[in-house]
């Protein structure tokens, strides 16, 4: 698909977003080592400007209207179907999405994790990650977005604070702890998270589980901020929306990258400011792919970057989609530059973590382009080309 095709052919903004997401003509390689050779260095040290110079044409990014994001490294339908079958059975067991399990199956969340973790072949590890992902998505549906499922912005803060005690248990005296337990027994979302965290604990170290707990608290804070906008009936400024998307990014599932792959990035690297900047930048970029693709399936009151740009800057829907692509690409360029810098000086595990993050982004792009959640005509074998 050429640039001319992108700019002229789509008859609607939804078709434009789809064309951008599925066009892989200018996509960078899915293997980060092809962009950033391990151990690369320059005299005088490696800075962001040096990294950009090293990356040459790739650092300039795609032509306008094209997404700077790799494609998926792996498509394994048999493994994906196995995980999807198991996660739908689990959802029925814990009580989420009753009467909607076929719709849940069409989302192919198990396939999402199979695409996003191409080096992981263990279906049980992938299932653990998929349970966490579905629990997160179900919370968004039940508590934040879908009125039919009971979403109410006036009580979002209380619900999420209570839910957090499943993930990071509250220590109450017995007489009141029993009341909390009874509350959770009445909440399918609570049971989904309890079961998901229990499964995740088989593979996550104490430190890795702590990272997950922290990321959930951050996500819940972001959803509370969004509820504030709904209750007060105001549209956030662009910068404020991007702050919310920094908190409500794709880090919750991405935080499990090294857990699933069977290694652990040590704390002194994981929490290093430059590593944290690279990782959060990748998560912020990834969630903007969701903003591009999910707009047509959301209600008129939901927020995404295109709608916020339209409200604040007077852009047309088409202009807002293209501006969102520009912002996404700038974030991705920052990640690649930081990856070049960190790969030169970091440990082998850090280089692996950055490469796995890059592969995760490519798998996420493929899933968004083909999932039944946003694409009623897509199939799991669609390669997005």
Query: Where are the CATH 1.10.600.10 domain residues in the chain?
Result: 11-73+265-385, 76-221
Instruction: Say if residue 337's pLDDT is above 70.
Output: yes
What's the chain look like in SS3? CCHHHHHHCCCCHHHHHHHHHHCCCCCCCCCHHHCCCCCCCCCCCCCHHHHHHHHCHHHHCCCCCCCCCCCCCCCCHHHHHHHHHHHHHHHHHHCCCCCCHHHHHHHCHHHHHHHHCCCCCCHHHHHHHHHHHHHHHHHHHHHHHCHHHCCCHHHHHHHHHHHHHHHCCCCCCHHHHHHHHHHHHCCHHHHHHHHHHHHHCCCCCHHHHHHHHHHHHHHHHHHHHHHHHHHCCCCCCHHHHHHHHHHCCCHHHHCCHHHHHCCCCCHHHHCCHHHHHHHHHHHHHHHHHHHHHHHHHCCCCCCCHHHHHHHHHCCCHHHHHHHHHHHHHHHHHHHHHHHHHHHHHCCHHHHHHHHHHHHHHHHHHHHHHHCCCCCCCCCCCCCCC
Averaged pLDDT of the chain:
88
pLDDT in tens, 338-369: 999 999 899 999 999 999 999 999 999 999 99
Average pLDDT over residues 239-264: 97
pLDDT in tens, 77-117: 999 999 999 999 999 999 999 999 999 999 999 999 999 99
Instruction: Say if residue 45's pLDDT is above 90.
Output: no
Domain 76-221 has CATH 3.30.565.10: no
Q: What's the whole-model pTM score?
A: 0.90
**pLDDT value of position 173:** 95
CATH number of 11-73+265-385: 1.10.600.10
């Amino acid at each position: 698909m050429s640039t001319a095709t992108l700019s002229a052919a789509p008859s609607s903004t939804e078709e434009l977003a789809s064309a951008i997401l599925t066009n892989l003509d200018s996509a960078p390689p899915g293997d980060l080592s092809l962009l950033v050779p391990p151990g690369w260095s320059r005299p005088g040290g490696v800075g962001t400007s040096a990294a950009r110079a090293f990356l040459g044409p790739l650092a300039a990014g795609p032509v306008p209207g094209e997404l700077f994001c790799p494609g998926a490294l792996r498509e394994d339908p048999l493994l994906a179907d196995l995980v999807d079958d198991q996660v739908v059975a689990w959802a029925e067991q814990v009580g989420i999405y009753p009467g909607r399990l076929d719709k849940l199956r069409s989302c192919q969340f198990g396939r999402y994790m199979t695409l996003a973790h191409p080096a992981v072949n263990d279906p049980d590890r992938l299932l653990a990650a998929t349970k966490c992902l579905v629990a997160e998505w179900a919370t968004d549906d039940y508590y934040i977005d879908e009125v039919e499922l009971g979403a109410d912005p006036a009580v979002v803060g209380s619900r999420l604070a209570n839910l957090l005690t499943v993930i990071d248990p509250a220590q109450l005296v017995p007489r009141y702890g029993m009341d909390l337990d009874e509350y959770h027994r009445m909440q399918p979302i609570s049971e989904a998270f309890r079961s998901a965290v229990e499964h995740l604990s088989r593979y996550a170290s104490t430190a890795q589980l702590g990272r997950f707990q922290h990321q959930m608290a951050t996500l819940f804070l972001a959803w509370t901020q969004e509820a504030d906008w709904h209750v007060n009936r105001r549209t956030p400024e662009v910068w404020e929306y991007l702050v919310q998307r920094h908190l409500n990014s794709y880090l919750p599932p991405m935080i499990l990258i090294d857990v699933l792959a069977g290694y652990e990035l040590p704390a002194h690297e994981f929490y290093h400011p430059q590593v944290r900047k690279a990782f959060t930048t990748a998560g912020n970029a990834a969630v903007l792919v969701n903003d591009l693709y999910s707009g047509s399936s959301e209600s008129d009151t939901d927020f995404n970057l295109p709608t916020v740009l339209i409200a604040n800057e007077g852009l047309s829907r088409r202009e807002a989609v293209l501006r969102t692509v520009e912002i996404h690409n700038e974030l991705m360029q920052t990640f690649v530059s930081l990856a070049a810098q960190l790969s030169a000086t970091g440990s082998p595990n850090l280089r692996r973590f950055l490469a796995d993050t890059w592969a995760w982004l490519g798998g996420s792009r493929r899933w968004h382009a083909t999932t039944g959640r946003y694409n009623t005509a897509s199939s799991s074998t669609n390669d997005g080309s």
